[in-house]
Structure 1
Amino acid sequence: MSKVKFELEFPIHASPSMLYQYLATPAGLEEWFADRVNSRGKLVTFMWNDSEEEAKIVSSKADERIKFKWVDSDGDDSFFEFKIQVDPLTKDVVVIVTDFADDEDEVDEAKMLWENQIEELKHTIGA
């Protein structure tokens, strides 16, 4: 079954280097994304209440992007990625979230979840 890819853009008033710390480090991710985050090399474990998910860091570039792939989704091309882009003229910073939903019916729900998560991130960093 093929998954449905989607992208969301969120303007965030923060420097790319500060933002990257919240998107790519266990301590930063624990502030807004998961209850607990453990990292062993490229393997990252996200914990929420009584559930646990493992993801591999597929690629990353400091202050620009980090891409994760859920370990249990090895049979498909899905991933989730945070990209930080700075407008060269206005210097506005946006975070672009790329993710996949299981099917069209779940895209809106997944987008809402990301909107809530990014609002939590903004609240956490005071942006």
Structure 2
Amino acid sequence: MSKKQLFSLEYPVRCSPTILYEFLATSSGLQEWFADKVDDHDGVFSFSWNGSEDTAEVVAHEEEHFIRFHWSHAPVEEFFEFAIEKSEVTNQTILVIKDFAEKRDIKDQSMLWDHQVKDLFHRLGN
């Protein structure tokens, strides 16, 4: 059993769910902010960063709502997910990222996501 635990991060976004989903669920969109190079073959995405490569399979998705990936090297119960929610109070679009990390690494992993999302927001003009 994995020692990693699930954690979630929320980011308010100023764009439509349709546009945001394209950046989260397509190889061209993910390549804009998530990795140096992204390829997609039948639901299996290859991500490259600074010469290293990893693959993740899309295990679940709903257009304009969420996409869940499973890293090829990770235990079956682990995933990372991008979800798009609407605040009922403000009607604002919220990007929710779910990921797994060991308890001692959650802060560092959250900072890494913050950095990645900052790049995404730059691309979106936020």
Partner of 2:46: 45
Q: Equivalent residues in 2 for 1:69-108 (5 A)? A: 69-73=70-74, 75-101=75-101, 103-108=102-107
Partner of 2:55: 54
- Is the contact between residue 2 and residue 76 of structure 1 (CA under 8 Å) also seen in structure 2? no
1:65-102 per-residue CA deviation (whole Å, 9 max, x = no partner) reads: 000000011x341100000001245320000000001x
- Is the contact between residue 66 and residue 81 of structure 1 (CA under 8 Å) also seen in structure 2? yes
The answer to whether the aligner puts 1:28 opposite 2:29 as a matched pair is: yes
Q: What amino acid maps onto 1:126 in structure 2? A: G
1:33-57 per-residue CA deviation (whole Å, 9 max, x = no partner) reads: 0000000011110011110000000
CA distance, structure 2, for counterparts of residue 2 and residue 60 of structure 1: 26
- TM-score normalised to structure 2 length: 0.95
CA distance, structure 2, for counterparts of residue 9 and residue 100 of structure 1: 15
Unmatched segments (≥5 aa) in structure 1: none
Unmatched segments (≥5 aa) in structure 2: none
1:11 is displaced (CA, Å) by: 0.2
Q: What amino acid maps onto 2:16 in structure 1? A: S
CA distance, structure 1, for counterparts of residue 43 and residue 99 of structure 2: 19
1:13 is displaced (CA, Å) by: 0.3
Partner of 2:121: 122
Q: Equivalent residues in 2 for 1:62-73 (5 A)? A: 62-73=63-74
CA distance, structure 2, for counterparts of residue 120 and residue 47 of structure 1: 16
1:120 is displaced (CA, Å) by: 0.7
Percent identical pairs in the alignment equals 37
- The RMSD of aligned alpha carbons is 1.0
Alignment partner of 1:7: what SS? Answer: strand
